[in-house]
Amino acid sequence: MPVRAPARGRAVPGPAWLAALPALIVIGLFSVHPVMVMVAGSLGVGRPPADEGLTLDHYTRAFGSETVRSALLDSVLIAGGSVLLVLLVAVPVVLRQADDDRHGRGGVATDVLLTLPIALPGIIIGFFAIVLTGRTGLLGLAWGGFSGLAYTFSGLLVAYMYFSLPRVLGPLRGAAATLDPALTESARTLGASRTRVFTTVTLPLLLPALIETSGTAIAVALGGYGTVATLSEGVRLLPLNVANELTTGYRLADSSALAVILAVTAVLALVLGRALSRLVRRAVAA
């Protein structure tokens, strides 16, 4: 037996990475390479007809434009604001879900409902905003202030909350499931109030996950194009500018520069979330 085992191991045809090769080729060709071509194009080093030599012109033009600057600012505010607002409701929701899961109670319907927005394209979420708070929206009948809200900053904020909700709940739920219920129970029996247990035990333990999830969700919301595309007559966000450069006159290099700015902002949110989360995790553990 001990002699046979290594012989069998050697009988495996070819090195293991060969199995991964087709996927790696596809990722290289259709993900990594196009992104690099886009970055090069935004720097003026496009394919031969569009090659203008290395230049930062497209970036100076982008940052020099008032509409681009305000779109970038609004994008950051909408993405950041919607995720932070979602966190406020997400924490109680995942704590309830974790509790339900532990007691085997949670219903499938609730679960489906809270996950559903992840499979809805952003355009439908924008459309929801129109149905409820557009000019002839349903909520407008209850109170006139709701009519036309879809096209304002606050309307967009609520629409992006809908978009971000499942993207925050999903990862946070995993973190809440790992919380040890014995910790909160013993704090309670030692006489701490519910609020005190929440602020001194539950919240610090959840905090690293909260921060990391926020970073990821903000990155995704920054790129959320569909919602704002449906509501495009209102507040303008950066993804709209990216698309406009191509739909109105195919200015690939300008569009690429804006896309790179958008991507860098998203990556920044992602990296910042990870780094802060690691820092806080260390602080909580200490």
Within residues 91-110, the interface with another protein by CB under 8 A covers 92-93, 95-97, 99, 108, 110
Q: Is 229 in the site for another protein (CB under 8 A)?
A: yes
Q: Is 119 in the site for another protein (CB under 8 A)?
A: yes
The one among 45, 263, 276, 280 contacting another protein by CB under 8 A: 263
Q: Is 85 in the site for another protein (CB under 8 A)?
A: no
In this structure, what are the phi and psi dihedrals at residue 116, rounded to the nearest 5 degrees? -50, -45
Of the candidate spans 53-61, 125-133, 144-152, 180-188, the one that interacts with another protein by CB under 8 A turns out to be 125-133
13 conformational bin, left if phi > 0, alpha if psi -120 to 50, beta if neither: beta
Cα of 199 vs its chain's centroid, Å: 26
Of the candidate spans 54-62, 146-154, 237-245, 277-285, the one that interacts with another protein by CB under 8 A turns out to be 237-245
Q: Is 121 in the site for another protein (CB under 8 A)?
A: yes
Pair of tokens at residue 31: 């993900």
Of the candidate spans 58-66, 134-142, 184-192, 274-282, the one that interacts with another protein by CB under 8 A turns out to be 134-142
Contact criterion met (CB below 8 Å) for 265 and 80 = no
The one among 127, 184, 197, 201 contacting another protein by CB under 8 A: 127
Distance CA 128, CA 265 (A): 27
Q: Is the dihedral of CA 74, 76, 79, 83 positive or negative?
A: negative
The one among 60, 69, 73, 89 contacting another protein by CB under 8 A: 89
Closest CA to 156 of 74, 211, 220: 74
Smallest distance from another protein to CB 286, Å: 26
Taking residues 156 to 195 in sequence order and writing x for each that binds another protein by CB under 8 A, - otherwise, the string is: ------x--x----xx-xx--x------------------
Judged by DSSP in three states, 54 sits in coil
DSSP 120-165: S-HHHHHHHHHHHHSTT-HHHHH-GGGTTGGGSHHHHHHHHHHHHH
Taking residues 33 to 62 in sequence order and writing x for each that binds another protein by CB under 8 A, - otherwise, the string is: xxx-xx--x---------------------
